[in-house]
A and B are shown apart, each in its own frame.
Chain A
Amino acid sequence: MLLDYDRMGWLRVALLCFTTLVAAFLLLPVVFIVLLSFGSSRWLAFPPPGWTLKWYQELFADPSWLEAALTSARIATMTALLAVLIGLLASFALVRGRFRGREILRGLLLTPMVLPVVVFAIAIYAFFLRLGLGGTTIGFVIAHTVLALPFAIIPIATALEGFDKSIEDAAIVCGASPLEAKLRITLPSIRIGIFSAAIFSFLASWDEVVVAIFMASPTLQTLPVKIWGSLRADLSPVIAAASSLLVGLTLALMIVTALLRRRFQT
């Protein structure tokens, strides 16, 4: 092969440098945020004059931060459940169904991934105001579910495509009703896809900020909205601490996904 890594010679060094640079460019800002959250400087000076946990103490002492985090977790969990449920049903239709307009439906369900979020946010803001759903948890969950749906459908549909329908037929011949065969055989067989879908749609809601800004009310704020609001009010290292927690949970979920995948694939 032309681009065989083992045979690239000195190009390997160049490739390594380039890849490192790209990764550094992407990751360093996040690393700095985390470092600053432990720094003692009130003004986010770098390098910090000393190390401290006081911003975390301040963060946990302020109930509005905790409340925002809990709101985020609650909305993200409900979004994940709803997106997986709808994503599962939609995937069966998209993968197994033979009906007119299937491709259009697939495109429609995946649109939120490519549509500019701000356009979606404005549209849903206007719509929800009329319905009285603005600033409510249900409104949040519905809006985030729409955004999360592509992230649920893609892994589930991929897993379902890789699952041989004959296996489900075999379960039916064995005496399982079509529903029982799906619940006892098909779903456990595609569980990697379902777990991935749950984690991705949780994250899609957990770190979503644009729609959340439109949807939020003074009494209902998610963590990203709270960070955004505080950032505009004052530049406190508490924000860095909150951001670090956000990054930390996201990272933890990604690691869990990777570990689950590795376990199921053996």
Chain B
Amino acid sequence: MTQPFLSIRKLRKAFGAFTAVHDVTLDIPKGEFLTFLGPSGSGKSTTLYAIAGFQDPSSGDVLLEGKSLLAVPPHKRNIGMVFQRYTLFPHLSVAENVAFPLRVRRRPEAEVKRKVADMLGLVRLESFAERLPGALSGGQQQRVALARALAYDPPILLMDEPLSALDKKLREEIQAEIRRIHRETGVTILYVTHDQEEALHLSDRIALFRDGRIEQTGTGEDLYLRPATDFVAGFIGNSNFLAAEHLETVGGAATIRLGDGSLVSGISANGRFERGQKTRLMIRPEAFRLERSPTSAELAVEIVDVAFYGERRRIVARTAAGQEIDIRPTSAAMASQEATPRHRQVFFDPGAAFLFPA
């Protein structure tokens, strides 16, 4: 077996009686863009800070190319980091900020100059070299912070919600910038965010955190299309959960009874269920169809509201059991809202529906 580039082994961090991180284990290959995604307080930042060296884990280990980092003080770990808050040195110019890590490493002046120019070119801020951080916008400051963190070619770059203080449009711009920089430098990036869209957009893989544990690790598609738990399904994208009774599972395909008494077969089952067990059926809003297909299952609903959202419409409907569900057909699939009867059938592919314990 090849040795993983960065390895987090049974990492655990307790603050008094509260355990922020429970036995997190994760291997990260070189050059990967991995995102720690999760709600606030889920342990993702604590894990990141343990890798940076600002948190001493209660137990477990962090290995870089097979060597433990724990005994190495943070300033000797040679890791790059961009923080959530603006952390440029306020009394130093942009160029001197980027030069700082090289100066503390006592690199020759010619190399410092060349590297600063390279880095400012990488983040496209060459013309700002002599400015003070106070004269820069938030987005520019974070780009300089990125240049500073990469100036000494660290093997790993940690990013702790670097865009959360920026507005949406700027955030998307810098996301594109970060992707480009990851492509150009090939640096291994660990990125923390609570924004699922940001995670889906940026990462090669996502580790979804919940209550100090990793709920699921996989590509964005894995998490979206094949959620391991109802928490993952609920956190990534939008989901409808319908109450259902499990009847039987054959070869991973479950048969269930919905609240209105209708039977549905061929559901993707996550785990083992007993006959008669109360379960929840997860269906994505965009997995619903308005037309029947040979394999589709059907659901009788009453349309409550239809709204136009550009490429998609959003329908709020109520099931016979009185539960509200969210349906997002493409606008093309539904000519106009007048054509919709109040009571009708909607359809879904059972393979795109997932069964979770209630």
Binding site for B on A (CB under 8 A): 164, 166-167, 169-178, 180-181, 184-185, 188-189, 191
Contact = CB atoms under 8 A, between A and B. Distances in A.
Among B75, B86, B145, B148, max chain A CB count under 10 A is at B75
A175 B85 contact: no
27 contacts: A164-B86, A166-B83, A166-B84, A166-B85, A167-B88, A167-B90, A169-B74, A169-B87, A170-B81, A170-B145, A170-B148, A171-B89, A173-B77, A173-B79, A173-B81, A174-B101, A174-B104, A174-B149, A175-B75, A175-B76, A175-B78, A178-B75, A184-B100, A184-B104, A188-B89, A188-B91, A189-B91
Nearest to B89: A185
Contacts of A166: 83-85, 87
B132 to A, nearest CB: 9
A193 B52 CA distance: 31
Given A167-B88, A170-B83, A175-B152, 6 more contacts: A170-B87, A170-B148, A173-B74, A173-B80, A180-B104, A184-B100
A178 B54 CA distance: 12
Interface string B141-160: 00001001100100000000
A31 B96 CA distance: 49
B105 interface: yes
Interface in B83-112: 83-91, 100-101, 104-105
B89 A189 contact: yes
A185 B92 CA distance: 9
B104 A164 contact: no
Residues of B in contact with A, size category: 20 to 34
A172 B54 CA distance: 10
A40 B234 CA distance: 91
A174 B100 CA distance: 7
Interface of B: 52, 54, 73-81, 83-91, 100-101, 104-105, 145, 148-149, 152
Nearest to A266: B134
A172 B83 CA distance: 12
A27 to B, nearest CB: 36
Nearest to B85: A166
A174 B158 CA distance: 12
Contacts of B85: 164, 166
A136 to B, nearest CB: 40
A170 B87 CA distance: 6
A176 B91 contact: no
Nearest to A178: B75
Given A178-B75, A189-B90, A189-B91, A171 B100 contact: yes
A173 B152 CA distance: 11
Given A169-B54, A170-B81, A170-B145, A176 B87 contact: no
A192 to B, nearest CB: 11
A115 B77 CA distance: 49
Contacts of A181: 75
Contacts of B105: 175
A191 to B, nearest CB: 8
A167 B81 contact: no
A151 to B, nearest CB: 24
A171 B81 CA distance: 10
Contacts of A172: 74-75
Contact of A176 (B52, B54, B75, B80): B75
A170 B80 CA distance: 9
A142 B54 CA distance: 39
Contacts of A184: 100, 104
Contacts of B152: 174-175
Nearest to B100: A174
A176 B103 CA distance: 9
A178 B74 CA distance: 9
Given A178-B75, A180-B104, A173 B149 contact: yes
A142 to B, nearest CB: 33
A189 B73 CA distance: 24
A177 B77 CA distance: 11
B54 A174 contact: no
Contacts of B84: 166
A169 B84 CA distance: 12
A191 B86 CA distance: 19
Among A174, A188, A189, max chain B CB count under 10 A is at A174
B305 to A, nearest CB: 44
B97 to A, nearest CB: 9
A173 B72 CA distance: 12
Contacts of A170: 81, 83, 87-89, 145, 148
A173 B75 contact: yes
A167 B145 CA distance: 11
Given A180-B104, A189-B89, A189-B90, A174 B83 contact: no
Nearest to A185: B89
A200 B125 CA distance: 41
B99 to A, nearest CB: 10
A174 B77 CA distance: 9
Contacts of B104: 174-176, 180, 184
Nearest to B82: A170
B157 to A, nearest CB: 10
Among B54, B74, B145, max chain A CB count under 10 A is at B74
Nearest to A174: B101
Instruction: Across the A-B interface, give the 3 residue pairs with the lowest CB-CB distance, nearest first.
Output: A170-B87, A174-B101, A173-B81
B162 to A, nearest CB: 12
Contacts of B86: 164
A184 B92 CA distance: 10
